[in-house]
Structure 1
Amino acid sequence: MTVVRRAVLPLRATLVASFAMLVLLQVFSMPGQFRHMAEENPEDAELRWPLTIVAILVIGCVQVVIVCTWRLLTMVARDRIFTAASLRWVDAIIAAIGVGWLLLAGILLGLAGYWDDPAGPLLIILLLLAGGALGLLVVVMRELLRQATDLRSDLDSVI
């Protein structure tokens, strides 16, 4: 368990840095990017606010995953990961990944008539595939955590 405990601090530092960068994206980069897009292409100006809102929401989904991961790391550090409470945090991660996936799928479908270059749709399809794989992986890991939690509680009742 000491290797895991040593990994918690650097992982938390990475989570804090990632969260801070995502806040900068939400507050400055995405609104500015879509404002610039509307100025450069006035015919697409009606997309500015819907794209800004969806981008902020997708980033928010990633932030939810970071917060839930932080809580799970706290449980690992306290040797409390094999409890029913940890499953709720994993469920929140699965929900955030699902909402983010649906938002990206909505962008792909909603912008179908606007694409001039295949790079945009291909990038979103790649993100959808990666997000789907990540979501399914977390579902599998949740089941493993549930089984380990059940085994731990059985072992605790025997001892």
Structure 2
Amino acid sequence: MHRFFITVLRGGIATAILFGLFGQLVVIPTTAADEVDGFPSYAPYAVPYTVVAIAGVACVQVVLAAAWKLHTMVELEAIFSPAAFRWVDTVIGACLVMLIVIMRGLLRKANDMKSELAVVV
């Protein structure tokens, strides 16, 4: 791969990781606090949803870091080594964690809405 494209790809990955870090430290907590200020009834949900959002961004950052490492292994022509499969397993694991967190949240929300749906039906 041409050196220019390698530099652009790594710059994009690094930028995405830094934006994610900014989102975890500033944007997500600030947004949660603003929502609680505007809607006080959401106060009990602020911390759990903030933690879930930060965990989701962390999963994306893990995938980006693994992509960086796999890209380095492509450069070194070691992409089919056992070490590369560990990074692929890391990507799969991060995606599964994110899926489990999302599905658990949806299940909890559906369970909370069960009584409201019973009244409608």
Hey, what does 1:31 align to over in structure 2? 29
- Which structure has more relative contact order (CA 8 Å, sep 6+)? It is 2
Shift of 1:34: 0.8
Alignment deviations for residues 123-142 of structure 1 (CA, whole Å, 9 cap, x no partner): xxxxxxxxxxxxxxxxxxxx
> Which one of 18, 22, 25 corresponds to residue 20 of structure 2?
22
Tell me if structure 2 keeps the 8 A contact 1:8–1:77: no
- Counterpart CA distance in 1 for 2:45 and 2:109 is 9
Confirm or deny that 1:61 pairs with 2:88. Answer: no
Opposite residue 78 of structure 2, the aligned amino acid is R
Q: Percent of aligned positions with the same letter in both sequences?
A: 31
Hey, what does 1:13 align to over in structure 2? 11
Shift of 1:6: 4.8
Opposite residue 71 of structure 1, the aligned amino acid is K
- Counterpart CA distance in 2 for 1:97 and 1:110 is 20
Tell me if structure 2 keeps the 8 A contact 1:38–1:48: yes
| Number of residue pairs aligned between Structure 1 and Structure 2 | 112
Q: Which blocks of at least 5 consecutive residues in structure 1 are unaligned? A: 115-159
Hey, what does 1:155 align to over in structure 2? none
Hey, what does 1:97 align to over in structure 2? 95
Q: Which blocks of at least 5 consecutive residues in structure 2 are unaligned? A: 114-121
RMSD over aligned CA atoms reads 1.5
Tell me if structure 2 keeps the 8 A contact 1:12–1:70: yes
- Counterpart CA distance in 2 for 1:98 and 1:9 is 30
Opposite residue 59 of structure 2, the aligned amino acid is C
- Counterpart CA distance in 1 for 2:75 and 2:102 is 34
- TM-score, normalising length: structure 1: 0.66
